[in-house]
Amino acid sequence: MEAVSFEQFDANILQEIVTMKMPFGKYKGHIICNLPEYYLVWFYNQGFPKGRLGILLETLYEIKLNGLEFLLKPLKGGN
């Protein structure tokens, strides 16, 4: 994953991770932040999808890999 400077970071990414549903696959319909780590590892090994979904999945992978799930808790609300 390429390093992203603070100026390049899209603050909407975290909000989308806790609101957007997975559009396909075994976990279709699940909120992205609720995807299990092994599923994200599978994408890491196979290659993340292109586009916004890939960015969200890769960001969540890094969050979980580094034990930063606490960053998402304030954004989850009732999710």
Residues in CB range of 70: below 8 A, 6 or more apart: none
The answer to the question of residue 4 being in a domain is no
pLDDT surpassing 70 at residue 6 = no
The answer to the question of residue 16 being in a domain is yes
**Domain count for the chain:** 1
Per-residue model confidence as pLDDT tens digits over 55-77: 999 999 999 999 999 989 988 87
The answer to the question of residue 24 being in a domain is yes
Residues in CB range of 6: below 8 A, 6 or more apart: none
Q: What is the value of pTM for the model shown?
A: 0.83
Per-residue model confidence as pLDDT tens digits over 26-55: 999 999 999 999 999 999 999 999 999 999
The answer to the question of residue 56 being in a domain is yes
The answer to the question of residue 1 being in a domain is no
Q: Give the domain extent around 65.
A: 12-76
